[in-house]
Amino acid sequence: MWPGYLDRAAQEAMVGDLRAVIAAAPLVRPVTRRGQALSVRMTSAGEVGWVSDRRGYRYEDRHPSGVAWPPIPASVRAVWDAVAPGAAAPDSCLVNWYAPDARMGMHQDRDEADLGQPVVSISLGDDARFRIGNVERGGPTQSVVLRSGDVVVMGGAARLRHHGIDLIVPGTGDLLGAPGRINVTLRVAR
Ligand code: SIN
Ligand code: MN
């Protein structure tokens, strides 16, 4: 965990880069195989992007509209290089947009080919309550507040721990010019 890793100027620059990603590959609200819409809206940058629809969830090399995913912004990639030295190059950057009422249920990140590679998460905008559980389902959990500029590395023994977002605390950050939160996760998917 790297609290306050990005200063305000770096956060503002990254938000600008992410707005360009979203302009090229618009946010979509994924649905589960059973047709239930997630509350988080998502897009990706990189060679592959994570998608979920009635066919299930997976990495795809195109946005659902058919356009290629835009490249991972250099500002985002620089965080990976700093906090995950020695890891392989990330080929996927999931961009999650949380409106104030959005949340993300407890899950594992395990769709990547090499689970020995870390996942690096960057938080921007309003605070969020992040819940971390265990590798196995259930059992005790801990919660931590993720603030704008915080970076979390999920690697090693923590790579497969269940995690989710319980809630967003609207009005705690003014970075985005509107209530809500952006979370970016870098992955080595293939
Ligand atoms: C995720 O697990 O993909 C996102 C976690 C977060 O929003 O902090
Ligand atoms: Mn995750």
pLDDT digit string, tens, across residues 120-169:
999 999 999 999 999 999 999 999 999 999 999 999 999 999 999 999 99
Return the CATH number of 8-187, one of 3.40.250.10, 3.40.30.10, 1.10.10.2840, 2.60.120.590: 2.60.120.590
Report pLDDT digits (tens) over 102-132: 999 999 999 999 999 999 999 999 999 999 9
Q: Which of 85, 136, 131, 118 is nearest to 185 (CA)?
A: 118
Confidence of residue 92 (pLDDT cuts 50, 70, 90): very high
**H-assigned helices in the chain:** 8-24, 74-83
User: Mean of the pLDDT values across residues 76-95?
Assistant: 98
Burial of 22 (0-12, 13-18, 19+ CB in 10 A): middle
Q: Which residues contact 16 (CB under 8 A, 6 or more apart)?
A: none
| Region at 5 (left for phi over 0; alpha for psi -120 to 50; beta for the rest) | alpha
> Which pLDDT score is estimated for 173?
94
The overall average pLDDT reported for the chain is: 98
CA 68 to centroid of ligand 1, rounded, Å: 23
> Which pLDDT score is estimated for 176?
98
User: Mean of the pLDDT values across residues 33-40?
Assistant: 97
Contact 165, 129 (CB under 8 A): yes
Ligand 1 pocket at CB < 6 A:
94, 96, 104, 121, 130, 146, 163, 165, 183, 185
User: Which residue of 43, 50, 96 sits with most ligand 1 atoms within 8 Å of its CB, as the best mutation to test the pocket?
Assistant: 96
- The domain limits of the chain are 8-187
> Which pLDDT score is estimated for 184?
98
Q: Which of 103, 108, 92 is nearest to 46 (CA)?
A: 92
User: Mean of the pLDDT values across residues 42-47?
Assistant: 98
Q: Which residues lie across from 151 on neighbouring strands? A: 2, 122
Percent of the chain with pLDDT over 70: 100
> Which pLDDT score is estimated for 55?
97
Closest residue CA from atom 3 of ligand 1: 185
Show the tokens assigned to 95.
């961009």
Q: Which residue has the tokens 């940058």?
A: 45
Confidence of residue 48 (pLDDT cuts 50, 70, 90): very high
Confidence of residue 35 (pLDDT cuts 50, 70, 90): very high
